[in-house]
């Protein structure tokens, strides 16, 4: 990933760092251990620039409703899972998207009640912006469901249907369905192993609001943390963070506090993305975000803000622009998460302002059908990764796991191919090259974490965080990309997945 020396035949590692390309440095090592790669390919380790790690880890153990074609199929999966729930425990699930169902229906509590009975049941939508509850779950709130910035869906009689959206969904989840720290630690221990097996050596986590920092610290203390974490904290905790004097970068070599997280709007799937046509849900106003960014700068923390719709993105860019004299001189690296639908005139503003686009290549092909349904011809300006790169934007790639699978190679494929099945690429004019997809998955996230002089390249002095692939993704045709496999992963000079020798 170093443009001046893009490829070396071999690599020398000393301790936790790269010593150099073999041929010049290996003789300085007194007792080198040699690993013959057998023609395999080594790249710097992958980053996932947007992941809800404990939530993704927990989702591995919940009812999964992805890929259900009808509401009946979703309910049948819930019925199977309900049989295993211990009395008094919650039945949790995730992954439904009513837009995928045919006929298209909105879920209801009645549909769940029939199979869950008295077991309180909470099913997060695939985009995590809607929550589907049964009557036993709704009863926990005693009718107290409405909060600002949220929607309680009601039927013709005015009774809750069982679906909550945005702040109402999150408030309910956080109040009644919140996982315990022990549950998160247990799930994330397995999650780390799974992520590392996919070549991940660093994540930008978004579950700070859920207490992810406590989870990482416990995993690190027990030696189970084998990737690096750049952690978000919710913007509403800024005063607590300021009070103890924590600035961006505080932490250990493995776990650091990175940035504040805020939300401008909802999502495509929940039809709550805030558009220039006036539709959608505003979670944070332009003025409020400007205040958050200014306060973050005073405290020493950049802001990552979720923005899906073109109005939400414009408001976010306006807020970063209005506050730039506060954050730019400090070298803070703000970012817009998703940047899914952009008015063409807003595309160049990212690079001009120095705001990174933290996108998810996988979202484009996996959202194509509902994007066309809800956004129609606006999709010409959606998931505009090529346009953002051409404008000079720092584009970082993530999975938004559990919304997509935490799998960087799948993200790289999606960015390059813009299709997940045998359909032709969706808006092929927005495809990125393999080199660009790798940069978005390796060097750009390292830059966002202020690690551009420590990670993201395999050059002398950099951390030996690397992944061994079974073949070189730059040397194969694009249609062979889905076949690339992770062979092994190294963090700081230590094998953390599948040490050699390999067959
Ligand atoms: Zn997210």
pTM > 0.85: yes or no: yes
Cα-to-centroid distance, 273 and ligand 1 (Å): 14
The candidate with the shortest Cα–Cα distance to 502, out of 461, 467, 470, is 470
Whole-number Å distance, alpha carbon 398 to ligand 1 midpoint, is 9
Q: Which residues contact 370 (CB under 8 A, 6 or more apart)?
A: 97, 99, 100, 268, 269
> How many beta carbons lie within 10 A of that of residue 377, not counting itself?
7
30 Cα: distance to centroid of ligand 1 (angstroms): 47
Q: Does position 269 have pLDDT exceeding 90, yes or no?
A: no
E strand spans, 97-247: 121-125, 130-133, 150-154, 160-166, 200-205, 228-234
Q: How far is the CA of 158 from the centre of ligand 1 (A)?
A: 31
CA of 404 to the centre of ligand 1 (A): 10
Give the lowest-confidence range in 26-30, 117-121, 247-251, 409-413: 26-30
Q: How far from the centroid of its chain's Cα atoms is residue 385's Cα?
A: 16
Mean pLDDT of 238-266: 97
pLDDT at position 5, please?
A: 84
| Residue-level pLDDT at 430 | 98
Q: How far is Cα 424 from Cα 377, in angstroms, rounded to an integer?
A: 18
Cα of 52 from ligand 1 centre, angstroms: 6
Q: Please write the tens of the pLDDT for every residue from 291-326.
A: 999 999 999 999 999 999 999 999 999 999 999 999
pLDDT band for position 3 (cuts 50, 70, 90): confident
Each residue of 156-204: pLDDT tens digit?
999 999 999 999 999 999 999 988 899 899 999 999 999 999 999 999 9
What is the CA(339)–ligand 1 centre distance, in A? Answer: 12
Residue written as token pair 């390249």: 457
Q: Strand 121-125 vs strand 130-133: parallel, antiparallel, or unpaired?
A: antiparallel
How far, in Å, from the CA of 14 to the mean position of ligand 1? Answer: 37
Between the CA of 205 and the centroid of ligand 1 the distance, in Å, is: 9
Distance 360 CA to ligand 1 centre (A): 10
Between the CA of 418 and the centroid of ligand 1 the distance, in Å, is 20
Span from the CA of 114 to the centroid of ligand 1 (angstroms): 32
448 Cα: distance to centroid of ligand 1 (angstroms): 17
Question: What is the 357 CA–ligand 1 centroid distance (Å)?
Answer: 13
- 454 C-alpha to ligand 1 centroid (Å): 26
Cα 408 to averaged position of ligand 1 atoms, centre (Å): 15
In the reported structure, the alpha carbon of residue 139 is separated from the centroid of ligand 1 by a whole-number distance in angstroms of 28
């Amino acid at each position: 990933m170093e443009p001046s020396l893009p490829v070396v035949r071999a690599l020398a590692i000393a301790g936790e760092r790269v010593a150099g390309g073999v041929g010049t440095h290996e003789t300085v090592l007194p007792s080198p251990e040699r690993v013959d790669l057998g023609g395999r390919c080594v790249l710097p380790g992958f980053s996932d620039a947007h992941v809800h790690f404990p939530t993704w880890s927990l989702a591995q153990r919940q009812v999964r409703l992805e890929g259900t074609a009808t509401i009946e199929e979703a309910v049948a999966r819930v019925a199977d899972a309900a049989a295993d729930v211990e009395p008094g425990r919650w039945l949790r699930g995730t992954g439904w998207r009513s837009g995928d169902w045919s006929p298209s229906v909105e879920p209801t509590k009645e549909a769940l009640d029939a199979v869950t009975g008295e077991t309180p049941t909470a099913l997060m939508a695939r985009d995590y912006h809607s929550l589907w509850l049964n009557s036993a779950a709704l009863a926990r709130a005693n009718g107290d469901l409405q909060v600002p910035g949220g929607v309680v869906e009601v039927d013709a009689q005015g009774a809750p249907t069982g679906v909550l959206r945005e702040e109402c969904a999150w408030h309910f989840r956080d109040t009644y369905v919140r996982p315990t720290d022990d549950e998160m630690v247990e799930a994330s221990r397995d999650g780390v192993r799974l992520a590392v097996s996919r070549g991940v050596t660093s994540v930008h986590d978004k579950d700070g609001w859920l207490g992810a920092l406590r989870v990482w610290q416990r995993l690190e203390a027990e030696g189970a943390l084998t990737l690096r974490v750049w952690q978000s904290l919710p913007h509403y905790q800024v005063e607590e963070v300021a009070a103890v004097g924590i600035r961006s970068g505080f932490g250990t070599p493995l776990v650091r506090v990175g940035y504040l997280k805020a939300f401008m709007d909802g999502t495509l799937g929940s039809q709550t993305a805030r558009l220039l046509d006036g539709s959608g849900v505003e979670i944070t106003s332009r003025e409020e975000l400007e205040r958050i960014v200014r306060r973050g700068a005073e405290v020493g923390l950049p802001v990552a803000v979720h923005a899906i719709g073109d109005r939400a993105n414009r408001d976010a860019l306006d807020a970063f622009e209005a506050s730039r004299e506060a954050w730019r001189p400090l070298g803070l690296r703000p970012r817009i998460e998703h940047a899914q639908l952009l008015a063409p005139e807003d595309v160049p503003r990212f690079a001009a302002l120095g705001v990174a686009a933290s996108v998810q290549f996988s979202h484009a092909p996996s959202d194509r059908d509902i994007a066309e349904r809800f956004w129609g011809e606006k999709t010409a300006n959606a998931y505009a990764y090529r346009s953002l790169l051409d404008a000079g934007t720092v584009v970082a790639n993530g999975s938004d796991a559990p919304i997509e699978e935490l799998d960087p190679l799948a993200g790289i494929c999606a960015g390059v191919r813009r299709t997940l099945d045998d359909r032709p690429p969706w808006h092929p004019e927005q495809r990125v090259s393999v080199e660009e997809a790798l940069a978005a998955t390796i060097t750009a996230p390292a830059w966002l974490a202020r690690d551009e002089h420590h990670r993201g390249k395999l050059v002398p002095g950099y951390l030996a965080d690397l992944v061994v692939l079974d073949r070189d993704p730059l040397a194969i045709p694009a249609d062979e990309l889905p076949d690339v496999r992770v062979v092994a992963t190294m963090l700081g000079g230590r094998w953390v997945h599948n040490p050699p020798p390999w067959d």
